[in-house]
Every structure is written in C-alpha cells, then in structure tokens.
Structure 1
Amino acid sequence: MIQPRSELVTGRAETGRRRGRGRIRPVWFVAALAVVMLAGVAFTGWWFSQGRYTKVPDLVNKPVTVARQVAQQAGFEVRVGEARFDDKVPKDIVLDTDPGAGAEVVKGSVLTLIPSAGPQLITVPIVEKLSLTDARAKIADAGLTPGRVSKSASDTIPRDQVIRTNPPVGKRVKKGSTVNFVVSAGLLMPDVTQMMRDQAEKFLREKGFNVQIDETTDDAPPGTVIAQDPPGGAEVVAGATVHLTASRGPDQGFHWPWEVNPADPGQSPPAVVNVPDVRFKAIKDAVNELKAAGFNVKTRRLVGTDRVVGENPLGQQPPGTTITLWH
C-alpha cells in the first residue's frame, strides 16, 4: 500500500530528530568529563605545589614548652634535640629548629627543637698550696681565665704558694670566668709598735718568735713599744728573734698635760676616767664601749681577727684620749 506523501514526510522528520538527539548527548558528556578532568588536574597541581606543604614557624627565643605547643598545633611532629650551651640565652629557651624557620616542608613532618642549656658552668679546681705557676696552668686547663694576684701573710702556707682563690675552690662559674689568686707572702713580722710591752711580748711569743726587749728614755708612756727590729711587714722565718725597744718614760721634770705641776700648787687636777679593758672582746663591741666611755678609738690590723689582742693606753686617762686597739 502506498503511504500518503504527508505521512512519509512526517516520518522522515521524526527520524531526523531522534538522530539529532543521539548526537547531542555524547557532546555534553565529553564536555562534562573534560571539566572534571581539568578540575582534578588543577587540584592535583595545587596539592603538590601548596596543599601538602606548610612553612616552619619561627620558634626561636620561645620557651620549649610553648614552642612545642605551637608546632603541634601547626601539624608538626615535634622532637626535642640535644641542648647546646649558650652564654646569652637562658636554659630551656629555643636556640634553633631543624628545619629552620620559614622552610617549606610536608605537613606532618618532624620538627626538631634545639634548646639552650644555658651558660656552661665549670667548677673552680683545687689549686690551694700549689705554686702560682702551676695554679695558673690548672685554672687555664679547666677553661677559666687566671686573674690578679695579691699576697697575704701566712704562718701555715709556704711563701709563693696559693692560699685561696676568688671565686673560691668548688664554686661553679661560667666558662671563661676570671679567677683571682691570694698567694702566701710567708711569715711577716707583725707591727707591735705603740703596744704595751707585756702585750706585745705575749703576742709575739705565742706566734713563735724569740723576743728581746731594751728600754730607753722617751716621752711615750712607760712600757710602750717605740721601735722593733725586724720592722712590721718584713718577711721573716718561724722562730726569728725580734728586738723591741720600750719606753721607760720621760726624764725627771716632765709632766703629762693632765698632771698637776708642782710649781703651780693652785692648779686644779684635770678630770680622768678609767679606760675600759676591752682586750679579747669583739672589735665592734670594744669600739662601741670605749666611745660610750668618752674616748676616741683607732684600730690597727695585726692578725686580722675580729677580737682585740692589744689595747693602749690603759688605766686612767682624760676623756677624749685616743685609745688604740689591735685586732
């Protein structure tokens, strides 16, 4: 049967539309797939260029506990490395990091904190009773700096040997610190001039010296040591002989200012008071006691103790007299 022309045309149009729709679908699918692929490539590029990486924060000069917390919050695995000595940065403060601040690393990387151990401390070695040359060498070998030298009398440490150091032996100090020396000057003759002869003789004999005493006329009060040989401060040996010269008083006719002059019987005798005997008391207490009694006080170092070993004058003296104390 022959189809009418109108139906034939209609059928052909319908078939064309179906074929057109079939061609459009693959085009949109390919376009969408391309978009997805481009996005994937872009994300992959971003991930490998930036997304996987992070910068190491600047943690230098922060306490280790704080630096650890900051690094962990930034996604790092944190380790604490071996501490290093540093003269300026206190202990447990971050000196450096590995990797260093600003480095780009993969997220989750290990970040090592290098803390400060503070300044390196060295114990002052034992150098007492060594010669100055050996003591200097030992101090230098320990990483310290030999410093100034002063001398002090000693009847127990031989001359030119170290008595003590400053800082003292056993003290922990910074590496490179200066250590000063006190070296024995050996036995030095004590200066006992102006002491009463009995006090001076007793003191010197207790120190092991042989004492010889001569007397001479002098304006100094009777019994006062006016000279000695060897003089005070001279280097001597144990058992040395000391010659003392003591005053036997002035010639006849001499009158002390506070004595009544027989040629002037109308003269009123001046007021005198007893001088407190402060021997063997603490020097500070002795000075206060004499001043409270109305006397002036002068102190002289003899053996370097805090106790009075000599006093002159004693007895009765006018108020305001200067009393000398040896300690």
Structure 2
Amino acid sequence: EPQQPHDDQSPAPEHTPPRSRPLTNRGGAATLIWGVLLVILVIGVAVAGWWVTSGRYGEIPQVLGQDVSGARAAVEAAGFTATVSEVYSDDEPEETVTGTDPDAGERALRGDDVAVLVSQGRPTVPTPGATDNLSAYQAKLSDRTLTWTVGESVYSDDVSSGIVAEVTPRAGQAVDTGTEVTVKVSKGAKPVKVPDVSGMSERQARRAIESAGLEVGDVERRFDEDVDGGDAIGTDVDAGSEIPGSSPVTLILSNAITVPDLEGMSADEAAAELRDLGLSPGTGDGVSDTSVSRGDIADQEPSAGTRVDPSESTTVTLRESTMVRVPFVIGRSVDSATKALEDEGLKVTVDGRQDGRVITQSPGPTSRAAVGDTVTVRTL
C-alpha cells in the first residue's frame, strides 16, 4: 500500500522569483546633464525665435530739437549706424535737425544706416553752368526739390546753342521747395548779315566785319588780278549771307604785287626797286626811244600797274634806251668835236676844213640819236 504522508508535515512554501530592474545605461549624473542640455536648447530656440521675429529690430529714436552731434549719438545708442543727410526745408532754419530717415518710431534692423536730416534752409535757383544743357540743368533742379517747365528758346550772344541761357525765377534767388522754374535754352547768337568788304583795306574790312556783329577769324591771302596787294578780296562766307552773330569769318586779302613804273630810271635804280617789292629784274633788248637817255629804262614787261602773282613768275624784263643825247660841239675844233661825239657812240662826218672850227651840227645839240648814228659837222 502506498505510504501516506504524515499529517504533521506542512506544505512546502512557494518560490517567488526576484523583481527585475528596468534596463538602462544612464546613471543619475547623466540624466541631470541631459536635462540641462534640453533646457538650454529650449532657451536657445526661444531666444532665436525672439531675435528673428523682433529682437534684431530696434526703434528709431526721436531726435527733433537736438543738435547734429546729439542726434547722431541718439541714433547710434539705439543700435544703428548714424549718417548725416542735408535736406531743404521751407520752415526749418539752416543746421537744424529736422528728423531722421526712416522716421522716428519706425523699426529697422539694428546696424542699418539711419540718416539724421539737417536743414539747408530754403533752396535757391541754381546758376546754369557753361555746359549745362536742358537735362543737366533739370538734374540740378531735382537735387534742390525744384520742378521745371521749358520755355521758348532764345537768342544769346554769350551762350552756345543748346545750353541753358535764362531761368525764371532768376538764378540764386531763394524759393520754396517744389517751386517751378521756367528754363529757356539758347538758340545761339542772333543771325546777322555778312558785309561786303571787297576792295577795302585790311583795316576797313576788319572794322566792317566787327561792326556787323561778327569776328575776324583766320586771314587768308590769295591772288586776285583786280585787287591791290593787302586789300580785301572778300570773306569765306558770301556777302549778304546770314550767320549767327559773333561767328568768326575768314578775311581773304590779295597778295598781288603791282609792277611799278620804271621808265626813265637807271638800270640799277629800277632793279633795286623791283627787288624791294619781291620781284626779279630781267634784261631785254635795247630800244630806240628819243624821250629817254641811253642806259635808262625805256620799256618794261609786264607794264607799269600790272598785278602779278608772287607764287608764279615774278620777273620784270627791263629794256634800256639806245638813244643818246647829242652833245653840243659848235665852236670846238674838229678833233675835240669828234672825240665828244664818238664818246657817246656816234659817228662823225666833217663838212669843211679839218683844221677849222665847227659852226653847225646835224642832228642839233641836245637832240637824241641812236648809237651808231652819224652826226655831220660843218667847219669854217
């Protein structure tokens, strides 16, 4: 029979396994560090969000009533870079701070430029410069807050065509900002007629040109057979033409040389006068001229009064007279009379005694005869 258990034995107690701890590789210190980092991250994100949304912006301060240095200091203290900009003002005196750009109370990125506006007072109408065309002058007006209207162009002796000649109100006048200025552009000098100066002396021609409101520019010399040297042939612009006043015109003068009258002069005298005028003497064949003594000039080519071109041939051919004045030999011996006549290039025929004295001669005394002609003397 199976053995029964004893009644005094109590049942064996149940075995309870121990409770397991959660698995982790962090100690208490690590947890603390991670917590701190998390807090810092949260704060950083919050600060960054604040900076992006509003923290990097500042409010531009009110600077009215301050001097320039004080206004700049206030702008910089608010976190901005202060600059100074001059502006025109109808109400604020010069050197007065009128505000800022951007305006006070507006928000802007810290570090941005903020201009302190300083009054220059009322603007003045700018003076047109010597090279100010319409667009250049309009830019000057805009810089001074002024507007413009373009008036009718005007003639001006002093201002070149296309340059601003007149403005209204006058240049330099103080006006309100936004004032409209009437601008008139020059059409150049008023046209005048070119005078006819042909045949005038150079001095007269210059006076006529200047009296007409023009100027003598270059002076050109050319040949004209009808105008004496040094006198005016004309101008490079036809007489009667209209050109702008004060314009330069070229005065054209004659360079002609007028051949002088050399008849009756000795060959040496005639040659010297020609050279003084810039002409060259030449020698031609002798001529028989009863009015001019032997060796003196009896003919010339070109003739006296002819105008010649100095750039071309300037030779004047001189022809000496071959006529001699028959010497007075009446009363002389035949030998003395013969010598006197032969010295003049004349031949002698004696009618009468060789040892007598001359009582007549033919041709007569002081008349002229050609060299080689015969003079007949009669003796007693």
- Tell whether the structures are fold-level matches, with TM greater than 0.5: no
Specify which structure has the bigger relative contact order, considering alpha-carbon pairs within 8 angstroms and separated by 6 or more residues. Answer: 1
* TM superposition score normalised by structure 1: 0.33
The structure in which a higher percent of residues are helix is 1
Bigger Rg over Cα? 2
* TM superposition score normalised by structure 2: 0.30
